[in-house]
Structure formats: C-alpha cells, structure tokens
Amino acid sequence: MRCVFRGVLYALFATALMPSLLVDAQQTPDTFRWIDFHSAKDQDVVIWVTRSLAVEPWTAIREIGVEYDAALVVTANRATPQSNPKDDTFGVWSVSLTNHSVTPLLKGVNLRLLDWMLFAAGRPRELGLLYDNCRECNASTFFTAFYYDQRLHAWSARWMRGEQAIPLTSASSPDGVAVTQVYAGLADPNGHEVIATWSHFDYGKQKPPEDYIYEYDVDPFTGLDRTQVVSGKAMPAVEKQLCQATGDISGIAHGQDSVLCQETLEHPTERRVRRR
C-alpha cells in the first residue's frame, strides 16, 4: 500500500514541475470543480481518491476534478525515480466517491486538456483533450472528451475504440502515398461544436487522389457519440471551413498552412477537378 500523504506530496511536487493542465475557469460548468491539493477542505477527497487508486499503476496524482459523486483523476506514471519527467505516461480514471470503484478511461503521453466544449445543444459541456500514443517517436495524435454519465454515476470518454479516440493525425501512411491531414474544432452560430478531420491521399500517377472527411459530435436526443461521414456536394464547404479555421475553438487546428489548404482556398474548382 502507498502512503496516502506521500502520494499527495508527490502529486504536489509533480504539479509544480510540469505545465498546468487546467483549463480556463470561465468555461467550467457550475457542477464541476477542480480539487485544491493545498486546501484543508479538499483533503477528504484527496485521501479517498488516493486510497481508491492504491493498487493501480501510478506514481503521482496530477489533477482531481469532482462532479456530483464521481472524481475525474489524472495520474502520472514514472518508470523509475531516476527517469526524466518528460518520459512520464499519464492515466485518466473515474473514481466513485461513494464506493471506491475505479474505471480506467485513457492512457497515453503528452496530455493536453482543452476547453469545456458544447457537442450537443441543450446538454452539458464536456472537457476536451488531446493526447499522443508515444513519445520520442513519430506519434499519432488523438482527441476525446470527458463527461459525467448520469446513468452510470461515473465519468466516461467519447469516441473510444479500444485505447484510441478520434484520430487527428496518423504517424503511418501507405508506401508511395503522400498524406495530408487537416483538422479543427468548428462551431455553428448556436455554439454547437464539432471536431472535423480531413485526410487527403495523393497517389501520384498511380490513381486519382482520395479524400475522407469526418465530423464528430454528440446526438442531442440520445446523448451518444456520433461520427458522420461528409461526402459528395457537402465536402467543399467543410474543406473550406477546415482550411479557414484559426484555432479559436479550444485551440484545435492543424494543417491550415498546408499546400492542400492553399489550393483549396485559392483555386477550389481546379483542385476538385484534378482529384476526380
């Protein structure tokens, strides 16, 4: 068993060394709060979470967020005490504040918490984040969002397929194929947000290029994750939106400076003719 206070002290030490994970408090829902490790009134939650995670693989608790009866917990795992902190992996857990049950949600490296995002009108905002699958390598980047599931009384993660969520960039591409990847967070006038991705495969002289565009949000009626394929006549408008994205939506934007986007914005008709 770990010493509870040792775990708390190590969490504070790790937090002081690493960049803050916390997002703008103005975006935080009223029902959610981040635990203050220095506050005496929050020590009961810190001790409860530490004991709940006692048998799990972690070396420091980086953040604890609480909504209703469940804690969203971010931990760091360091291979050895001599290992470089930048090589830490992270884990995210849902910890019940009523029965000590623990549910692993996610693991990876280079966690970047974003803003609270509105994926379905009339539903609560959800905490977006980016993460990579490896460090010191040609990493792939993924996006997911955490939300409190009222049916389960626990935290859950969106768009998960195994250990991977929405693929924003992929480190692997077929031999002889040039792949351009563009993604961004997009919003309509009502504030409803989607994550949109565009993968363009250029086969050179082998065959015409191919484009795959996806939009990810939440069904407002069921509350379930939703993935929609954008095709046909709807593609040019989304391509233009993606290429004009500035990252204002939670800082999510990539690929806008690519040759693909330059062609899309400067010569949209010609580019579409060439790729048929």
| Cα separation of the two ends of the chain | 62
Q: Which residue has the tokens 């103005």?
A: 26
Residue 131 confidence (pLDDT):
96
Q: Which residues touch 95 (CB under 8 Å, ≥6 apart)?
A: 48, 49, 52, 53, 70, 71, 73, 101, 102, 103
pTM: 0.86
* pLDDT at residue 136 in the model: 77
**269 confidence band (pLDDT: 50, 70, 90):** low
| pLDDT value, residue 174 | 80
13 falls in which pLDDT band (50, 70, 90)? very low
* 220 vs 215: CA distance, rounded Å: 15
What is the tens place of the pLDDT at every residue in 200-242?
Answer: 999 998 899 999 999 999 999 999 999 999 999 999 999 999 9
Are the beta carbons of 61 and 75 closer than 8 angstroms? yes
CA torsion sign for 106, 43, 11, 16 is positive
Domain ranges within the chain, ordered by starting residue: 4-168, 173-274
pLDDT confidence of residue 5: 33
Three-state secondary structure of 141-165: EEEEEEEEECCCCEEEECCCECCEC
The type of residue at 271 is R
Residues comprising the chain, all counted? 276
How do residues 118-138 score in pLDDT, each as one tens digit?
A: 999 999 999 999 999 988 788
> Whose structure tokens read 């330059």?
262
Q: In what order do the strands lie in the sheet with 178-187?
A: 225-230, 210-218, 193-202, 178-187, 253-254
What pLDDT, on a 0 to 100 scale, did the predictor assign at position 138? 85
Phi, psi of 198 (to 5 degrees): -135, 120
